Structure 1
Amino acid sequence: MSTPPYALPLQQSERLQIIDSLRGIALCGILLMNIPYFGMPWMWDFDLRLRNEFSGPNYYTWWIVRLFFEGTMRGFFSMLFGAGCILLLERLEKRPPGDISPADIYYRRLLWLLVFGFIDANLFLWNGDVLLVYALGGLVLYPFRHAKPRLLLIVAIAALAIGTFKGTTQLYEQKNKRVKGEAALALEKQKVTLTEKQKKEKEAWEEYKKEHTPAELSKKAKEEIKAFRGGFTSVLKHIFPRNAEFQKMSVYGFFFWDLMVCFFLGMYLYRTGVLTGAKPPSFYWKLMLAGYAIGLPLNYWQLSSALRLNFDNTHLADTMYISWYEIRRVLLLMGHLGLLMLLYKYGAAKWFFRIMAAVGQMAFTNYLMQSIICGFIFYGVGLRWYGALERYQLYVITAGVWVFQVIASNIWLKYFRFGPFEWVWRSLTYWRKQPFKRNTPVIER
């Protein structure tokens, strides 16, 4: 039996097409949620008042995207990242030993992923990059590679509980800012001398109200547009502090647990055969119906509350006693998974799963290419369309990027083993130049 002189990356024959297809679908879905942050100030996406988007195509676009997809596509991608970690380690541990251990390969991949996250955020100018926190979160997964499905599910549920607790804490922090600030203002009107603590509470509330008025938010939006339509240094100077804050929140805050839920859920669903189509159709029907029947009403309630309260988060805790974000996101994610797996099980849209598998095999390249393409379209380094399009028009751009990536991925993989960024990532991981073209033989001895 021949033995490779060194460990090799996952080969085409070892891939699971359904996993690749789901990853490709999730990758495209991520752009649905990211495109507003590429193409317009975040205030416009958050608050419909700023452009009076309470009717017409912008309003309905906001509802469709938020109701059906908000948070779920990132969750899908995270879930498949967790499953992919197990898949990679299973294959590596079954191979004859090379000069690099599976653990070494695994951690090298994650450390290089961290480097690519820094590049995506600061060279490709994407201030919503998740690669860095994926790399850090992935470090946690290795000790669980052989864990029983029950333990994986318990950890996922625990992460869900912690994430929900942290989200709920944020809700009440916002509410307390309002309640304490208004109480201090009421005392001041009654000519009561405020304590130092009450003065700070009053000032914090007044500052919050000022920063969240439509006029102030619109002013900040204009500053955003000016910065993003500038050159490379203008954009980088504007987003660098935001990147630092986002990464800090990702590692220490709510977002870390947001990822852990889906990482471990993905590992559990892979171990139990849910992601590979091993369950009967009846299982996926139940998964879809339960996910949509509970998740959609919860999400509708949350979105309608935001509209009713004029996007004032300080009032959300008055009607929502806990944060339902993580719970409803997982439920909708299960609904989407059930639907897709039913299409797969019944053999519907085979062509769709086939072409999306190529997108999934090149998910790393396609994720980074979304940053490069959208940066060129919207920022001052390219066409300078930032803030120039209506909300619904951004999704025309999204569809164009999808078509390009689907076609390009399928053509590329006819001639090459990996996407270009996958090839660089693997070559760095193994510290050897990897075979790139399909007609290049894999050397064994």
Structure 2
Amino acid sequence: MDKAARIETIDLIRGLALLGILMMNIPGFGFLPSGFNRLMNSPAGPDLYAFIVVSLGFEGTMRGLFSMLFGAGMVLFTQNKREQVNGPTVAEYYYRRLLWLVLFGVINAYVFLWRGDILFFYGLCGMILYPFRRAKAGWLIALAVLCMGLNSIRTELWYSELRTNRAGYLEAVKQEKAHKKLTDKQKEAKGAWEKFEKGFKPDPKKDAKELTEMRSGYGTVFMHLLPENSSAETFYTYYGSWDMLLMMFIGMALLGWGFFSNKLPTSTYVVTLLVGYGLGLPISWFYTKAQVDWAQHAGQIVDNYRTIPFQVYDIRRVLLALGHASLVLLVYRSQLVPWLMRALTAVGQMAFTNYLMQSIICTLIFHGYGLGYYGKMAFHELYYVVAGVWLFQLILSPIWLTYFLFGPFEWLWRSLTYWKLQPMRRSTAVG
């Protein structure tokens, strides 16, 4: 998007979301996967407080906000392009842009070795958005509700199967105590539930292997993450897309209403802030508590809840995302911290570069071919790294954009999209 066509407040909110995403990603960079279960089974001290703050206010919401802005950005991309008589169509540019994004996602996962890449999925989901680029906001919200419903049904089907296995397990245990022979169905249910429960228990051998390989050289880390990255790209393409699409559709609708472009009355943002936080935080507290209860005694939750408590996930993240966006827009209007608003806007304008930069920096800090800090930090200590990366990007981004029109990866992505080298330096562009 050209400088003249950029909407400053969209970059501002995108900058907030981009920095917030690192709060969610940092455990994937430097924390043992089994560390969460240990943390949840004996919650105390700084680790507990860090978990509560992150889970209560930010888990899923920053990625949700980023997804909203991605949907809005795709609409803006098509609006700012005109059909050419003898050149590529807007659709060609649009899909070429997304295909390159998918490739960047592959590079992020398999070259930069980030196991939690989202670019691959954003590229695929974005391809679905194009036919809806001119849809009215009401229809876009209806599509978002449909995606949320499909996601909820999928979760409910999984939970229903889990409850069946749990009931079969309890019946099998009762039969065994009575010294009665189990049926094949009972054996199957018992085995399925025990396999599920095993996932909550520490596995010293698995943890030792994880630590050894993640602290090794590049080749070893690559091979260790290869099956995980491959299965994740397959699984989330089929099962995680509804999560992203619903937020993208909401973002497209909010753009149409003028929410992200700061066109609504201040009272609208105040009300959205109050509703978003007023409803979202209590629901999020219920969700956070459910996470701890689930890790400590999942069986009791399955026994007592007909519907899994995590069904509130999408509702809470929509509410909190709107609350966060409204808050930053109100601060922007108040001009209380203009230097921070400018820095966040620069971070958002370079969001693609800053996202990939987070992968590069954090993998070099935690993986063995870098500093090798993987698994060495307590949960709360990971957020010292987050603060350092935030400070670095908040300082670097405005300085970079003083001399250049785009971040380096934005420039590369743009050049590949138009299949022509784009101007980079500001002096060159002016000349």
Distance 2:416 2:399 in 1: 25
Per the alignment, do residues 59 and 320 of structure 1 end up closer, same or farther by CA in structure 2, a change over 3 Å counting?
farther
Per the alignment, do residues 273 and 314 of structure 1 end up closer, same or farther by CA in structure 2, a change over 3 Å counting?
farther
- Under a length normalisation based on structure 2, what TM-score does the superposition of the two structures give? 0.94
**Aligned mate of 1:175, from 163, 176, 188:** 163
CA RMSD of aligned residues (A): 1.9
Distance 1:96 1:344 in 2: 38
Amino acid at match of 2:66: F
Q: Name 1:249's counterpart in structure 2.
A: 235
**1:122-141 correspondence to structure 2 within 5 Å:** 122-141=110-129
**1:62-101 correspondence to structure 2 within 5 Å:** 62-93=51-82, 99-101=87-89
Long gaps (5+) in structure 1: 1-9
How far apart are 1:436 and its partner, in Å? 1.5
8 Å CA contact 1:227, 1:238 repeated in 2: yes
Per the alignment, do residues 260 and 230 of structure 1 end up closer, same or farther by CA in structure 2, a change over 3 Å counting?
same
SS in structure 1 of the partner of residue 429 of structure 2: coil
SS in structure 2 of the partner of residue 141 of structure 1: helix
Distance 2:254 2:269 in 1: 12
**1:250-269 correspondence to structure 2 within 5 Å:** 250-253=236-239, 255-269=240-254
Per the alignment, do residues 320 and 229 of structure 1 end up closer, same or farther by CA in structure 2, a change over 3 Å counting?
farther
Q: When the two structures are aligned, how many residues end up with a matched partner?
A: 428
Q: Name 1:59's counterpart in structure 2.
A: 48
**1:340-379 correspondence to structure 2 within 5 Å:** 340-379=328-367
Q: Name 1:7's counterpart in structure 2.
A: none
8 Å CA contact 1:306, 1:316 repeated in 2: no
8 Å CA contact 1:113, 1:131 repeated in 2: yes
**1:138-157 correspondence to structure 2 within 5 Å:** 138-157=126-145
Q: Name 1:188's counterpart in structure 2.
A: 176
How far apart are 1:185 and its partner, in Å? 2.4
8 Å CA contact 2:37, 2:200 repeated in 1: no
Amino acid at match of 1:249: F
Identity percentage over the alignment?
43
Distance 1:354 1:49 in 2: 38
Amino acid at match of 1:197: K
Distance 1:97 1:32 in 2: 46
- Under a length normalisation based on structure 1, what TM-score does the superposition of the two structures give? 0.92
Q: Name 2:262's counterpart in structure 1.
A: 277
Deviations 1:87-107 (A, max 9, x none): 1111113x7666221111100
SS in structure 1 of the partner of residue 34 of structure 2: helix
Distance 2:282 2:305 in 1: 15
Distance 2:15 2:104 in 1: 20
Deviations 1:16-35 (A, max 9, x none): 11001111111000000000
Distance 2:226 2:255 in 1: 37
**Aligned mate of 1:197, from 162, 174, 185:** 185
How far apart are 1:327 and its partner, in Å? 1.2
Per the alignment, do residues 238 and 256 of structure 1 end up closer, same or farther by CA in structure 2, a change over 3 Å counting?
same
Q: Name 2:17's counterpart in structure 1.
A: 26
Distance 1:311 1:325 in 2: 19
Amino acid at match of 1:86: V
